[in-house]
Amino acid sequence: MISWALIALGLLLVLIGTLGVLRLPDVYSRLQASGVSDNAGLGLVLAGLIVRNGFEKADLTLALLLVLLLLTNPIVTHSIAKSTFTLEHRERKEDR
């Protein structure tokens, strides 16, 4: 029951994030929609899967996936934003 609530909330956040990636006008706003909703929504789906799997069988693979998602997604978002900003800045400097 708790697992279905977590999974449903996470899937709702994932759908909202997909809508944001499709509809927002700018690279940076799309990056924010993608980063925030992926981190929260997919993290909630993984948490629901962990609860559904049960805590008796000590299988740490799903927890490892959750930790991996929460560690790497901010790094990826930051590096994409830095790469986009550097490219834009370089093009603007070449135009002058």
Q: How far apart are CA 16 and CA 14, in angstroms?
A: 5
Full 3-state SS string of 39-54: HHHHHHHHHHHHHHHC
2/64 with CB nearer another protein: 64
Shortest Å distance, C-beta 92 to another protein: 12
Decide: 71 and 46 in contact? Cβ < 8 Å.
no
Question: Can you give the binding site for another protein, defined by CB under 8 A?
Answer: 7, 11, 14-15, 17-19, 21-22, 27, 30-31, 34-35, 38, 42, 45-46, 49, 52-53, 59, 61-62, 64-65, 68-69, 72-73, 75-77, 79-84, 86-87, 90-91
Q: How far apart are CA 43 and CA 67, in angstroms?
A: 9
Shortest Å distance, C-beta 72 to another protein: 4
Shortest Å distance, C-beta 90 to another protein: 7
Shortest Å distance, C-beta 87 to another protein: 7
Instruction: Please state at what angle helix 27-37 crosses helix 61-95, rounded to 10 degrees.
Output: 170
